[in-house]
Amino acid sequence: MKIRPLEGRRLLTIILVAAFAWSLFNVDWGSGLVNTGGLRAAGHIASSILRPDLSLDVLDKAIRASWTTVAYAVAGLTLALAIGFPLGVLGSGVLFRSSWLRRFNVAGTRLVLAFFRSIHELVWAWLFVVAFGLSPLAAVLALGIPYGGILGRIYSELLQDVPEAPLRALRSAGASEWRVFWFGRLPMALPDMLSYTFYRLECGIRSAAILSFVGLGGLGFQIRISLDDLAYGRVWTFLFFLIALVSLVDVWSSMVRRRITA
């Protein structure tokens, strides 16, 4: 029997849904997963949301930890940009007229980008902590490499997806592909590239907080210590600082975006 494309797609959907349903029956929903004292602990955690620890000592720690977290995130994203922009441009293949060269380049660059981003930042962090010890360098590399892979991938797609007509007009005015890139492609892709980069900065702040669980310092490190002390009020203080940081980036990003697109 020959399967036509549309039938094939439907068949795939049915198989995937069936696989999902089957997986539900294969999870052990039994007692092993549930901590019986957990409900009380959850109650504690929930009720302390109204009583965050605002003592000067804790606030001082929170501000310092926030600063460390932001510094890691910004440094990591800077490295990510240095990796992602050039590789994204190469990987988009837009600078090559010869189709053989383009395909070779796109495939090669995409492979490198996929390698960078398929390993999670936490795993990179473990690797680099083993290599460099608990140093800021380990944290920045651990963030910058996978984020560079992600940015490169997204940039290359955004650069490919700009409207063709204005580019054709530039070419017919005698512009080479490099000039078309700088005067047409990049300006048209830039607002989306920027807004995605800001989104990544947000993710970077959350990731930097998580990385600090490894012991690199920052908000996550403080949260872990407080959790170990069962000091949920303090946990919430640090979490509120994390939320504030992410919101700040959000506001900043929409301000920049408004200036670029308006």
Partner 1 sequence: MSLASLESSRTEAAQAVSLSGLSKAYGPIEALAPLSLTVAAGETVAILGPSGSGKTTLLLLLSGQLGPSSGAVTLVGREIAQLSPGKELAQLVGMIHQQFDLVPNISALHNVLAGRLGEWGLFKSLVSLVWPQDRPMGMEALARVGVADRAELRAGRLSGGEQQRVAIARLLLQDPAIVLADEPVASLDQARAGEVIRLLVRIARDSGKTLISSMHSVELARAHFDRLIGLRNGIVQFDLPSSQVADDMLLALYDIKGLRRED
In the complex, the residues that contact partner 1 under the rule CB under 8 A are 165-166, 168-176, 178-180, 182-184, 187-188, 190-191, 260-261
- Find the shortest distance in angstroms from Cβ 262 to partner 1: 8
Which residue lies nearer to partner 1 by CB, 14 or 169?
169
- Find the shortest distance in angstroms from Cβ 178 to partner 1: 6
d(CA 145, CA 80): 6
Instruction: Say how many C-beta atoms besides its own lie within 10 A of residue 168's C-beta.
Output: 12
Which residue lies nearer to partner 1 by CB, 59 or 194?
194
Which residue lies nearer to partner 1 by CB, 6 or 165?
165
Helix, strand, coil share (%) of the chain residues, nearest 5? 85, 0, 15
- Find the shortest distance in angstroms from Cβ 212 to partner 1: 38
Which residue lies nearer to partner 1 by CB, 70 or 90?
90
Q: What is the 3-state secondary structure (H, E, C) of 201-239?
A: HHHHHHHHHHHHHHCCCCHHHHHHHHHHCCCHHHHHHHH
- Find the shortest distance in angstroms from Cβ 167 to partner 1: 8
d(CA 76, CA 65): 16
- Find the shortest distance in angstroms from Cβ 191 to partner 1: 7
**Integer angstrom CA distances of residue 18 from 6, 79, 215:** 19, 43, 42
The pair of three-digit structure tokens given for residue 156, joined into one six-digit string: 């290359």
- Find the shortest distance in angstroms from Cβ 185 to partner 1: 9
Element of type H or E holding 257: helix 232-261
Which residue lies nearer to partner 1 by CB, 71 or 190?
190
DSSP designation for 53: -
Which residue lies nearer to partner 1 by CB, 136 or 166?
166
**Integer angstrom CA distances of residue 157 from 42, 126, 128, 237:** 43, 30, 30, 40
d(CA 193, CA 189): 6
In single-letter form, the type of residue at position 135 comes to S
d(CA 147, CA 78): 10
Which residue lies nearer to partner 1 by CB, 189 or 201?
189
- Find the shortest distance in angstroms from Cβ 194 to partner 1: 11
